[in-house]
Each structure stands twice: as C-alpha cells, then as structure tokens.
Amino acid sequence: MSAGHTFFSVTGLTKDFGGIRAVDDLCFSVEKGSITGIIGPNGAGKTTVFNLVTGVYRPTSGAIHLMGEPIGGLRPDAIVRKGIARTFQNIRLFNRQSCLENVMTPLLQRERHSFVGSVLRTPGARRRQRDLADRGRSLLASLGLEPFASQQANTLPYGLQRKLEIVRALATGPELLLLDEPAAGMNPEETKRLAELIAEIRERFDVTILLIEHHMDLVMNICEPIVVMNFGALLACGTPDEVRSNPDVIAAYLGKGKKSHDASAQG
C-alpha cells in the first residue's frame, strides 16, 4: 500500500437487522481511479453495503473512510457532499419530472443561491438558472440523452432510465460513483455497450467506480480488483483471474460438491 491514506475503505463494517447479520466485519478498500466490482450470491449483503456507505443505513459497527475522512453514520446528503453518488438497483428517478429537471435538482443543490433573489427572480437569479440548465443539458448530452431533455423521466425506455440515473448521480460531482447492478435487465449486447460506457465515464468525469453486478462477463471485463462477498462477509478479493480460480468463490457459486451435500443432508 502506498504512503498516505487510501482513497476509500471500509473496516470492520457490520450491520445487524434484528437478529440477522447482513454485513459481517467487512473490510476492503478501493484505489483511486479504479473500477472495483462487488460480486456475490443473492442475499450476500452487497446492496446493504451500498446503503451503509451512502448513509441510508447506520452501521452497527465499523468505519467507512473517504479520502482519509470518516463518513460512517453521516446523513445521506452530507455523504453526497463529501463526494459519493450512487444509482439504485430498482431505478429511483424523479418520475414525473423531465430528464433535465432530474439532472438540475442535484446541480441546484450544489449552488449557494440567495433565497430572496430566487423568490424575487432577479435578473442575476435567472441568469444563474439558465447557466445551470446549460450545464444540465451538456451533462445529458455526455451520455446521449440530450434529445430527451424535456421528456418525462418515467416515459423513457428502461435502458435510458438507467443512463439518466447515472447522469443524475454524476451531476452531484462525485469522486466515487456507486452503481448498483447497472446492467440488470440488459441483454448481452447492451451489457457490452454499458461496459464501454462505464469505462468512458471513469475517464471523462475522473471518478472512481464501485459497482455491484451479476453479469460476470461485465465484471470480469472491466473490474479490477473484484471483491467477493458471501453471507455478509468478505470471501475473496483480487484480480478477475485470482477470483475466478479461488476455490472458496467457486464453492460459494457452484456449491461444494460432496462435502456440502453431506452438510445439507445433516442439516
């Protein structure tokens, strides 16, 4: 590990829901500029990790650091301002607003407008609003959504809704972008294009990406390193090749053959 602090890390992260331990003493770190993947069987606690990192849940114990600063337990909007943005597994857009408005909302929240000026709609306030709308349009254009700027978000086709969610996340100006199953519901061709898009976003917006995904081809192609979770705990971590050949990972995904068969027979 290089000197100084790591870009992003979770240490000893634990989350209990009643008697169920959804995340169990999880430790991993993310290098700046990487595309790190989180994989694991269903119910392994991947989305819970995202919810902990973004402040939707409070960790039971453990720490989360972004660029040396502890962010565990902060409110979601405070974490956004620290530089973490996310998309959701089930798309959560501002459905009845236009695409541009969806992007404008995070842009506006970053501004320090005067309340009186805004309510009186002074020429200065109008100009700032127009400039921001232009920035919103160019953000939309960067992912090819500009033609849909004034279209209502929930009338977009599914794939474009996912893209719009990414644009909205980018509009918060993140250092670290969390993508929760960005390829869910996409066919292999679309998945391939998405992989290219994710790599492009990293370059263009200079963000680090942490993503959860079930499409192995996507993960194995663009993610390095890959974090594997099982039953809320870290199972393995490494390059795609290391993970692929790790016996524990194979066992978690494919079962343990005779040994696990015996165990289940006893249980």
Q: Is 125 exposed, middle or buried (0-12, 13-18, 19+ CB in 10 A)?
A: middle
Could you give the 3-state DSSP secondary structure of residue 184? coil
Using CB under 8 A as the binding rule, whether residue 115 contacts another protein is answered as yes
Binding-site string for another protein from residue 148 to residue 167, where x marks contact by CB under 8 A and - marks none: -xx-----------------
Q: Could you tell me the two tokens for 65?
A: 């650091």
Which of these ranges, 20-28, 31-39, 127-135, 191-199, lies near another protein under the rule CB under 8 A? 127-135
Distance CA 267, CA 259 (A): 13
Question: Facing residues of 21 across strands?
Answer: 16
Could you give the 3-state DSSP secondary structure of residue 153? helix
CB nearer another protein, residue 51 or residue 191: 51
Q: Which of 67, 133, 160, 250 binds another protein (CB under 8 A)?
A: 133
- Phi, psi of 91, rounded to the nearest 5 degrees: -50, 135
Q: Considering the complex, what minimum distance in angstroms separates the CB of residue 246 from another protein?
A: 33
Using CB under 8 A as the binding rule, whether residue 126 contacts another protein is answered as yes
CB nearer another protein, residue 28 or residue 50: 50
* CB contact at 8 A, 92 and 165: yes
Q: Which of 169, 183, 220, 235 binds another protein (CB under 8 A)?
A: 169
Buried b (16+ CB within 10 A) or exposed e, 99-110: bbbbbbebbbee
Q: Which of 17, 33, 43, 121 binds another protein (CB under 8 A)?
A: 121
Binding site for another protein (CB under 8 A): 54-56, 75-77, 80-81, 85-86, 88, 92-98, 100-101, 104-106, 108-111, 113, 115, 118-121, 125-126, 129-130, 132-133, 136, 149-150, 168-169, 171-172
